[in-house]
Chain A
Amino acid sequence: MIVEGKKKIWADYQKDIPDDHYFYVRSCIRQAFWPGSEVTFLDITRNKLGKDFYENPYHTTCGGIAYHSDTIPQETAMTIIARQFALMHESGYENYVCSCITSFGCYTETLETWHEYPELEAKIRQYLWDSCKKEFAKPKYLAHASDIIYKFRFEIAKQMKYPLVNVKTGKPLKVVEHIGCHYSKMFPSKGFGGAEYPYVLVGMIEAWGGEVVDYPERRHCCGFGFRQYFVQADRGYSMSNTHKKFESMEPYEPDLIITNCPGCPYFLDRWQYVIAEQTGKTYGKDGYGIPALTYEEVAGLVMGYDPWDLGLQMHQVAIEPLLEKMGIPYDPKRKYQGLNGKDLGQPMCPSCIKSV
């Protein structure tokens, strides 16, 4: 591997993203799958970095799931997006940041389509007015939340308590980075590092002391999509894609997978259980799996947030081996307690994949 070659490509695909004053929109499924992630993002950006990230309580989903599952036409999706932009404009912001990678793909696609077909933009303006009497302005800058964390990765590194290093051996953790397809595969120039060698997560791993693993199926999709996932019988297809990735990364013995999409960590995390049930194989050491975390969860871990406040107990793959490797203290008793120490009961744990 000649890293200079990669660095040249990364230098070609750089984005100049604004420093502050962002309008933040949440993700419909990310809030359900990884409840700690978005709250951590806002805590890091507002309280630890002192930036202005505003959330409007009236914002909704971007409509991406319905659009990609072919249940709503493109005009409807664009009108939903236009309403979001209208809320941004009414709240007095110009910079737009979204939490989900599919949203980022939808927003980029919408803005590019309006750029090439202004008559469609005019039509959507009319639809929005007819449906909710709102007028929108296009954002001056559109970023993804992982771009923000990437931009401030060195500031986060300054406040870092637990680098991505194995405290027992002193060696950096081997981290697999997985980018959501909608980040740069559609519009390579809109992603840090382009489509072939994306840099947004690599930059974070390098800044926080980890070592990036490059394996043959790195670019492969995890198989989430939307259409094929909804029909139960088709899920085998999605799972086979994730299986292909795991088979390819296995020889490298990664300690952690970092992702920036809601669906990818969901698949990379949950399918490890199904694969273990069906084939008896696990990919972590000693019968554990490989933890698949979102970038906010990793940022939170390195900054010293409590793992259970980050929502890491919601992952099916046991997170404790990673916490021990990084030397992060945790209280096993608090794992399944709710707010104010309320006892929420214990979930059923599988036997085929080890959980503490």
Chain B
Amino acid sequence: MDFGFCLSPSSHVKMDSIDLTTFNRLKETNPDVNTCIACGSCTATCTAGNFTEMSFRRLLLMLQRGKEDEAKKMIQRCMLCGKCTLVCPRGINIRKILLDITR
């Protein structure tokens, strides 16, 4: 029977059951990844971010909230120019992390 409407899924992140495999793997090889303060400098300077939705700040948060598929889609935009690593105030080796995610 077609009611003309249906149930919508909830948009909240169910923190009790998210999949953190990629992020946990990153923590082992790049312990600095924990120290991101989401200041946004990387995204602001990002070359690809000028024309696409690429944002390393968002990407890292996606991995921390279990949205690995979205993260792997976004990461394809990265040009590996290294500007993000240049500006990070926490000294995180972002370029290496980006390579490690897809490895």
A binding-site residues for B, Cβ under 8 Å: 232-237, 239-240, 243-244, 274-275, 277-279
Contacts and interface: CB of A to CB of B under 8 A. Distances in A.
B51 interface: no
Contact of A240 (B1, B3, B4, B7): B7
A239 B7 contact: yes
Interface in B1-19: 1, 3-10
B1 A279 contact: no
21 contacts: A232-B5, A233-B4, A233-B5, A234-B5, A235-B3, A235-B4, A235-B5, A236-B5, A236-B6, A236-B8, A237-B8, A239-B6, A239-B7, A243-B7, A244-B10, A275-B7, A277-B1, A277-B3, A278-B3, A278-B6, A278-B7
Contacts of A274: 3
Interface of B: 1, 3-10
Secondary structure class of chain A's binding surface, majority of residues: helix
Contacts of B4: 232-233, 235
Most chain B beta-carbon neighbours within 10 Å: one of A236, A243, A279: A236
Contacts of A239: 5-7
Contacts of A236: 5-8
Contacts of B6: 236, 239, 278
A275 B8 CA distance: 12
B98 to A, nearest CB: 37
A277 to B, nearest CB: 6
A16 B9 CA distance: 43
Given A233-B4, A237-B8, 5 more contacts: A235-B4, A243-B7, A274-B3, A275-B7, A277-B3
A244 B8 CA distance: 10
A253 B6 CA distance: 25
Contacts of B7: 236, 239-240, 243, 275, 278-279
A269 to B, nearest CB: 16
4 pairs of A and B residues whose beta carbons are closest in the complex: A236-B5, A235-B5, A232-B4, A240-B8
Nearest to B6: A236
Nearest to A235: B5
A220 to B, nearest CB: 11
Contacts of B1: 277
A182 to B, nearest CB: 24
A9 to B, nearest CB: 27
B67 to A, nearest CB: 21
A279 B9 CA distance: 13
Contacts of B8: 236-237, 240
A239 B4 CA distance: 12
A243 B4 CA distance: 17
A192 B13 CA distance: 34
A236 B2 CA distance: 12
